[in-house]
Amino acid sequence: MRALIQRVAHARVEVAGRVTGQIGPGLLVLICAMAGDTEAEADKLATRIAKLRIFKDADGKMNLSLRDTGGAALVVSQFTLAADTSRGNRPGFSTAAVPDEGERLYRYFSDRLRAEGLTVENGEFGADMAVSLLNDGPVTIWMDSADRGAGAKGHNP
């Protein structure tokens, strides 16, 4: 699974003018199930995100997790995270999970975050959504449960 995580002061998602989810301080998690992903990838990613220390402590250092701060997560499905832009000008999405499996894993992932003790709000799978947010920092992190490139071990400034 792939996720783009943004630390936010607040975020909300609307479908056809109706609010489906909104949070105050916390994380906006844009999530995509990839072809071949299973619950194991969702479990791994949910645990990593719940423990990710990207919130400021009393000394102003990024040292606290979402669990530590009591913030919430707004989880929004975004299959375009699977975009392959290696050829031509039109991205391909063949590496994304098929819609039924993508929705199942999206819901499972959200439930796993709840099991980690987090408050979770959601967008609407497959809908045309309007997402608004105030990025805090800004802090934006790309994660992949399979470490297909980003998030792999390397230089840590």
Q: In which element (H, E) is residue 110 found?
A: helix 99-115
- Interhelix angle for 99-115 vs 39-51, to 10°? 40
SS3 114: helix
User: Distance between CA 134 and CA 141 in Å, rounded?
Assistant: 15
Distance CA 113, CA 20 (A): 18
> What residues are annotated to the active site?
78-80
Reduced to 3 states (helix: H, G, I; strand: E, B; else coil), residue 27 is: strand
Torsion angle of alpha carbons 119, 23, 20, 31, nearest 10°?
-70
Residue type, 54: I
